[in-house]
Structure 1
Amino acid sequence: MRGIAASIAWRERRQPPRTPPAPIAQPQTPEDFQPLSPGNFANPYAYYELLRNDHPVYRMPGHDYYCISRYDDICSLAKNTTAYSSKIMEILVSGKPKDPNTVGDSPVEKMGNWGIIPVDVLALQDPPLHAAERKIGHSGFNARFVKSLEPEVRKLCHEMMDELLPQGEIEFVQDFAWRLPMRLIIRLLGFPEGDYEQIKTWCMEGIRSLSGTAGKAELVRNGAGSAAFMRYLWRHYLIAKQRPQDNFTGHLIRESADPDSVMTDQRAIAILLQLLIAGSDSSASSMGSAIRILAQRPELEHRLREDYSQINNFIEEVFRTEAAFQGHFRVSTCETTLHDTTIPAGARVFLMWASGNRDERYYDNPEQFDMDRPKLKKHLTFGHGVHACIGRELARMEIRIVIEQLLQRTKQFSITGDAPFEASIFARTLLRLPMRFELAEQPPVETQPAPSTSDTAVTNGCPFH
């Protein structure tokens, strides 16, 4: 069983060292930024700006996908589910879209029906079936339920900080940011908490497979891990099916037994997979980014210490400036034209949430971190349209509680080493955040929590779309 630290170390040595080309001082074209280079992944925002201004529909050289970088264009394409489909499992598995002339199930669809790979569901599904599946997700993870989780999240956060903060120095991402949301979702699904290390390793490999930079050997390795993950989910699901519990897995089991429901066992497994992969990574990365920004910006840390009610605004600006998912893919179902560029049918289209979040056409001074800006919650970090993430309120709550308790328990904190991000076009995953903490002299006193910013009309769960 591979641990998380071992998985990260393997990633960082997966390719032999090589001397990267010298950076171009004043890049004029997208290629000048070396889009798939570690340097550009570490700080991609100047590259995104060039795309928005000069190449709003950009085909990545050597790759069959088109990058959409402007806020309004991203919103328009995200809402056009007829021309831009979310059903991309065929592409993810086979590398090409489904042949529209194929009669019956494609080989990939059959693999999904047989339980070998996840079927298209929620994030990878289109209306009208998506609406029915999403309704089931809403009924299991509604706003009232998410609110009811707050005492448990506070208790878990308190226990973990009791264990870690007295050490003085910790690796915040591995030791805390990944563990808290993952331990919570494992409890909610009814899986053994002792399986955390293995589940998280599988989740990391799943995200890595979508990075756009993984080599063939790594994809094969991760594919074997994904198959093992699917077997694990099926094993525990079938055990739970014998005596469904009062948790989300039990909710899916009861839905799949209803002949009038669209839910099936295969779709239930796919939802569980998305809950674990998307939820753990996005919450952990956003949590790590929030603490990293506070450690780098003492004036922001002081402002939040003076007024905890500002934490919600701070979190929204973290979401805008450091989107955990840089974008999501769609596949064009017909030939379309945008900004004089023809996108052929069957092409992958990458909706660049993180670029839209910094679009000068929508935001004033988008590169500035401004907790007081208007339209704070209009960012695209949780997607847009029918696929807007139903887990955003759980992510907000988890991060808010962590910041509150960390400020209560410390005088100050600082970063003591490198804080690298995953080399990925897809996810801005913070891999490490080594930190030093100076504890408060008095035992922490639980303060009144910051008012929730939940939209009462929205129901939520762990982040999946």
Structure 2
Amino acid sequence: MNRPFYHSRRCLLSHLIERGMRLSARRYTRRTKRVDSPGAETATGNIAVGQPTRPEDFRPLEDACFQNPYAFYKMLRDDYPVYQLPNGIYCLSRYQDIVEVSRNTDVFSSTHQGVIAGLKPGHSVEREAAKLRPLEMMGVIPSDVLALSDPPAHTAERKVGHRGLNARVVKAMEDEVTALCREMMDEVIDRGELEFMRDFAWRLPMRLIIRMLGFPEADYEKIKDWCVHGIATQSGIAHGAALARSQAELVVFYRYCWQQFILAKRRPRDDLSAVFVQAATGEDAVMAEHTAVSAVMQLLIAGSDSSATSMGNALKLLIENPEIQTQLREDLDGLLPVFIEEVFRLEAAFQGHFRWTKSATQLHGVHLPADSRVFLMWAAGNRDERVFTAPDDIRLDRSNGKKHLTFGHGIHACIGRELARTEIRIVLREFLLRTENLSLAGPSPYVASMFARTLQCLPIRFTAKRGLAGGGGSGGVERREHAGAA
């Protein structure tokens, strides 16, 4: 293949598609006389919802339902384990059903997630996806990879991803994570209050993954913005101008990832980008270049939200449960990892993921034709009382806490889960060691979405513990002792 010609054509087509999407967004805006922003228009605060009494009450895309969806999830688990939404999507809410479907890759496919969410009932997933395949092969739009692929391609792709994000790599990063966390803490500790999501939770995981990939850290703001648009396209509520604009931004983001990939090819280095460059070049290549670039983009989008929201939820639950916070402060080493698993279980950053049926099948007596869209509700399975005792409670003595589905299940279990655990553990440790009198300073709403339960903001107040800032004095000794266990 003539690579210069390939990249010239790819860039030209990318710019043309982006322009078309932006024109569509402007047409929608003129038609509706309003401008939407991805996801943000739906968050109105912590809204309590009464106990649902019928399946029609389950409206996951309405903000009032989504701020506290767990009563709906329980109703579905108990009475409607296979529930079809008005848009045709089947929702699975019981833990064991989700596990079995996750394992059955012969019938339930993970591919074509971008097509599934907006597919009209009766349309073929594969036929709709086939319309986009030429653009994927030309490197203009992202292709199915990692979480969006099936065996045997997924098997090789996962090995590549694991090479750069395995437990050994993450363990070696602990000092770097701790140093970055302390640097960021030093910047905010004297304020006494901050908006935790904007000033901390979003920044730390994104800065780390950008460093790991060897991307410019100065690009953080625009990368984060692109990731927000990426998640908005899967929310199920983005439409009109907002959806067209988010899709246009994704095209730009993919183009940016290509630029960084090409730089990594030209100037070999030892980072996560190099892992994907090596996997896509040479005689032993296991993935095409456009697939490798898609994988890099997927890692950025997935990592931009899940760790940040889980980090915010962990701090929020500590503030809302002072007795749990007291227990953790008395035994950080023993109880912090257990608490973090309870946070993952209780507040899954991604509420679920889609599958589609490659052939007809049945679940609980419900016939699912081929091309049925199925939503695996991780968050509902995480609170299934058939598996977890007192599922709505934080239990620091829970024996099966790690069985939660927040990182998926089976071959698609999240390859970044150990990095997420490490980031959250270190951040919580630092906040518990260096602050006291933690409290909420305002509402902490979630963005309504069928896909991601994104914590939009978390304003907090606190008092800095004397002698602990900056690592000096007796507080510095205490910090170093705890750092050794981190």
Question: TM-score, normalised on structure 1?
Answer: 0.90
SS at match of 1:106: helix
User: For the structure 1 residues 16 and 74, does the alpha-carbon distance in structure 2 shift closer, same or farther, using more than 3 Å as the test?
Assistant: closer
Aligned to 2:281: 257
Question: What are the superposed Cα offsets for residues 33-77 of structure 1, whole Å, 9 maximum, x if unpaired?
Answer: 43322111110000000000111001111x121000000000000
Q: Separation in 1 of the partners of 2:278 and 2:160?
A: 11
Q: Separation in 2 of the partners of 1:398 and 1:15?
A: 29
- Amino acid corresponding to residue 240 of structure 1 in structure 2: A
Q: Please state if 1:448 is matched with 2:473.
A: no
Sequence identity percentage:
50
Question: How far does residue 28 in structure 1 lie from its aligned partner after superposition?
Answer: 1.4
Q: Separation in 1 of the partners of 2:224 and 2:327?
A: 34
Question: How far does residue 260 in structure 1 lie from its aligned partner after superposition?
Answer: 2.4
Aligned with residue 238 of structure 2, among 214, 217, 221: 214
Q: Separation in 2 of the partners of 1:26 and 1:421?
A: 19
Aligned to 2:363: 338
Q: Given that residues 49 and 64 in structure 2 are in contact (C-alpha distance below 8 angstroms), is that contact kept between their aligned partners in structure 1? A: no
Aligned to 1:358: 383
Q: Please state if 1:134 is matched with 2:158.
A: yes
Q: Separation in 1 of the partners of 2:418 and 2:256?
A: 28
Aligned with residue 76 of structure 1, among 87, 93, 100: 100
Q: Separation in 1 of the partners of 2:363 and 2:61?
A: 24
Question: How far does residue 25 in structure 1 lie from its aligned partner after superposition?
Answer: 5.2
Aligned to 1:374: 399
SS at match of 2:367: strand
Question: How far does residue 451 in structure 1 lie from its aligned partner after superposition?
Answer: 5.9
Q: Please state if 1:317 is matched with 2:322.
A: no
Aligned to 2:171: 147
Aligned to 1:243: 267
Question: How far does residue 26 in structure 1 lie from its aligned partner after superposition?
Answer: 4.9
Aligned to 1:401: 426
SS at match of 1:435: strand
Q: Please state if 1:287 is matched with 2:311.
A: yes
Aligned with residue 193 of structure 1, among 201, 213, 217: 217
Superposition pairs for residues 49-88 of structure 1, below 5 Å? 49-61=74-86, 63-88=87-112
User: For the structure 1 residues 170 and 9, does the alpha-carbon distance in structure 2 shift closer, same or farther, using more than 3 Å as the test?
Assistant: farther
Q: Separation in 2 of the partners of 1:101 and 1:287?
A: 40
Q: Given that residues 90 and 108 in structure 1 are in contact (C-alpha distance below 8 angstroms), is that contact kept between their aligned partners in structure 2? A: no
Extract unaligned runs of 5+ from structure 1: 1-7, 453-465
Question: How far does residue 257 in structure 1 lie from its aligned partner after superposition?
Answer: 1.1
Aligned to 1:184: 208
298-307 or 74-83, larger mean C-alpha shift = 298-307
Q: Given that residues 48 and 67 in structure 2 are in contact (C-alpha distance below 8 angstroms), is that contact kept between their aligned partners in structure 1? A: no
Question: How far does residue 425 in structure 1 lie from its aligned partner after superposition?
Answer: 1.0
Q: Separation in 2 of the partners of 1:90 and 1:112?
A: 12
Q: Separation in 1 of the partners of 2:125 and 2:324?
A: 52
Q: Given that residues 90 and 98 in structure 1 are in contact (C-alpha distance below 8 angstroms), is that contact kept between their aligned partners in structure 2? A: no
Q: Separation in 2 of the partners of 1:345 and 1:28?
A: 31
- Amino acid corresponding to residue 36 of structure 1 in structure 2: L
Q: Please state if 1:158 is matched with 2:182.
A: yes
Q: Separation in 2 of the partners of 1:432 and 1:347?
A: 35
Q: Separation in 2 of the partners of 1:219 and 1:328?
A: 19
Q: Separation in 1 of the partners of 2:43 and 2:464?
A: 42
How many equivalent residue pairs? 438
Question: How far does residue 412 in structure 1 lie from its aligned partner after superposition?
Answer: 2.2
Q: Separation in 2 of the partners of 1:450 and 1:374?
A: 26
Instruction: Tell me which protein shows more helix as a share of its residues.
Output: 2
Aligned to 1:224: 248
User: For the structure 1 residues 431 and 384, does the alpha-carbon distance in structure 2 shift closer, same or farther, using more than 3 Å as the test?
Assistant: same
SS at match of 2:296: helix
Question: How far does residue 123 in structure 1 lie from its aligned partner after superposition?
Answer: 0.5
Q: Given that residues 68 and 74 in structure 1 are in contact (C-alpha distance below 8 angstroms), is that contact kept between their aligned partners in structure 2? A: yes
Q: Please state if 1:426 is matched with 2:451.
A: yes
Question: How far does residue 175 in structure 1 lie from its aligned partner after superposition?
Answer: 0.6
Aligned with residue 117 of structure 1, among 116, 136, 141: 141
- Amino acid corresponding to residue 363 of structure 1 in structure 2: F
RMSD, aligned CA? 2.3
Extract unaligned runs of 5+ from structure 2: 1-34, 469-474
Q: Given that residues 24 and 32 in structure 1 are in contact (C-alpha distance below 8 angstroms), is that contact kept between their aligned partners in structure 2? A: no
SS at match of 1:448: helix
Question: TM-score, normalised on structure 2?
Answer: 0.86
Q: Separation in 2 of the partners of 1:303 and 1:175?
A: 27
User: For the structure 1 residues 218 and 54, does the alpha-carbon distance in structure 2 shift closer, same or farther, using more than 3 Å as the test?
Assistant: same
Q: Separation in 2 of the partners of 1:396 and 1:15?
A: 29
Question: How far does residue 268 in structure 1 lie from its aligned partner after superposition?
Answer: 1.0
Question: How far does residue 84 in structure 1 lie from its aligned partner after superposition?
Answer: 0.2
SS at match of 2:190: helix
Q: Given that residues 311 and 450 in structure 1 are in contact (C-alpha distance below 8 angstroms), is that contact kept between their aligned partners in structure 2? A: no
Q: Separation in 1 of the partners of 2:78 and 2:119?
A: 30
Q: Separation in 2 of the partners of 1:253 and 1:34?
A: 43
Question: How far does residue 91 in structure 1 lie from its aligned partner after superposition?
Answer: 1.6
- Amino acid corresponding to residue 381 of structure 2 in structure 1: G
Question: How far does residue 448 in structure 1 lie from its aligned partner after superposition?
Answer: 2.8
Superposition pairs for residues 25-40 of structure 1, below 5 Å? 26-40=51-65
Question: What are the superposed Cα offsets for residues 139-159 of structure 1, whole Å, 9 maximum, x if unpaired?
Answer: 222221110000000000000
User: For the structure 1 residues 224 and 33, does the alpha-carbon distance in structure 2 shift closer, same or farther, using more than 3 Å as the test?
Assistant: same
Question: How far does residue 258 in structure 1 lie from its aligned partner after superposition?
Answer: 2.6
Q: Separation in 2 of the partners of 1:16 and 1:169?
A: 22
Question: What are the superposed Cα offsets for residues 383-406 of structure 1, whole Å, 9 maximum, x if unpaired?
Answer: 001101111111000000001111
